[in-house]
Amino acid sequence: MQRFEGYAVLITGAGQGIGEATARRLASEGARVLVTDLDGERAARTSATIPHSAPFACDVADRAAVEATVAYAVEHFGALDVLVNNACACTADTPLFEDQPDDTWQRDLDITLTGAFRCARAALPHLAKAGGRGAIVNIGSINAEADFGNHAYSAAKAGLASLTRTLAADAAPRGVRVNQINPGTIRTPAWSGRARQLDALAGLYPMGRVGTPEDVAAAVAFLASADAAWVTGTTLRVDGGLMAVNTGFARTRSFNDA
């Protein structure tokens, strides 16, 4: 089904992982995709394998770079219909909270939250011209909802959920929808070399596995498409049921019942 025939899409952090899978999914449904990444060479390698796509280096922490990226998308495709804010930064916590330095805290917020703001600000005027099919999909995290570590990253993702709601209200009269996806653990290159940890985490998920980038890409495709024409300001969990069930407690309850 070609739900995105004629659509022009910009995806940040699309050189690998969730962003790459999303680019592939939307392109497979007819979209023309601007594959952006901080690493321009990685964006180019990924774009070379995706039909109807083009690469562009973009640092979402740089306002001028973001505005140049959006301008290129509009020039290259003739329009912009969908923005997917996927770029993020996640710095490991210090052993003691009080040792967290300002620079790493600021970096996570600047890329993960303010970067999405910069992209939305630059894209919104163009999305508003998309004839009612304009959409922004923000990639959040279940870290926004509960403690899974990473103070700065979690705070940034929680802020992104708030921005999703407030921007949805602001953009709705202009025909632009804004939604967020909160994934659980996803098997991406960020987990490279930690297969045992991923296997251990799988047991915590009611569905018995961690997620794949394609799981998230499918959700993005729904929220970005006309199938979600009356959905805005919402956050969709793509987490294998993790936030719905305390798996450890459920196992203890089953043991006690036995």
236: its two tokens:
């969709």
- Examine residue 86 and state whether it is found in any structural domain, yes or no: yes
Q: Cβ-count burial of 218 within 10 angstroms (0-12 exposed, 13-18 middle, 19+ buried)?
A: middle
CA atoms within a 13 Å half-sphere pointing along the CA-CB vector of 245: 16
Q: Is residue 241 scored above 80 in pLDDT?
A: yes
For residue 194 the two structure tokens come to 């930690």
CATH number of the domain encompassing residue 250: 3.40.50.720
Mapping DSSP onto H, E and C, the string for 103-130 reads HHHHHHHHHHHHHHHHHHHHHHHHHCCC
Taking each helix axis as running N to C, give the angle between helix 40-47 and helix 17-28, from 0 to 180 degrees, rounded to the nearest 10: 30
Residue 3 lies in a domain: no
Nearest to 184 by CA among 228, 152, 144, 132: 144
14 occurs within a structural domain: yes
Q: Write out the residue range of the structural domain in which residue 26 sits.
A: 8-257
**Residue that wins the pLDDT comparison between 195 and 73:** 73
pTM of the model: 0.94
**Residue 32's beta-bridge partner residues?**
8
- What is the per-residue pLDDT across 148-194, written as a single tens digit (0 to 9) for each? 999 999 999 999 999 999 999 999 999 999 999 999 999 988 888 78
Q: Is residue 53 part of a domain?
A: yes
- Average pLDDT for 191-214: 89
Give me the percent of the chain exceeding a pLDDT of 70.
Answer: 95
- 29-87 pLDDT, tens per residue? 999 999 999 999 999 999 999 999 999 999 999 999 999 999 999 999 999 999 999 99
pLDDT one-digit tens code per residue, 112-128? 999 999 999 999 999 99
C-beta of residue 83 within 8 angstroms of C-beta of residue 138: no
Establish if 200 belongs to a structural domain: yes
* Nearest CA among 213, 111, 127, 212 for reference residue 172: 127
Q: Is 224's pLDDT higher than 70?
A: yes
**Positions marked catalytic:** 153, 157
**Separation CA 95–CA 100 (nearest Å):** 9
CB neighbours of 57 closer than 8 A, spacing ≥ 6?
Answer: 36, 37, 38, 39, 40, 43, 65
- Any domain includes 1: no
Tell me whether residue 73 is in a domain: yes
Question: pLDDT at position 253, please?
Answer: 61
Q: Is residue 2 situated within a structural domain?
A: no
Predicted local distance difference test score (pLDDT) of residue 127: 98
Q: Residue 64 carries which side chain, given as an amino acid letter? A: A
Q: How many domains are contained in the chain?
A: 1
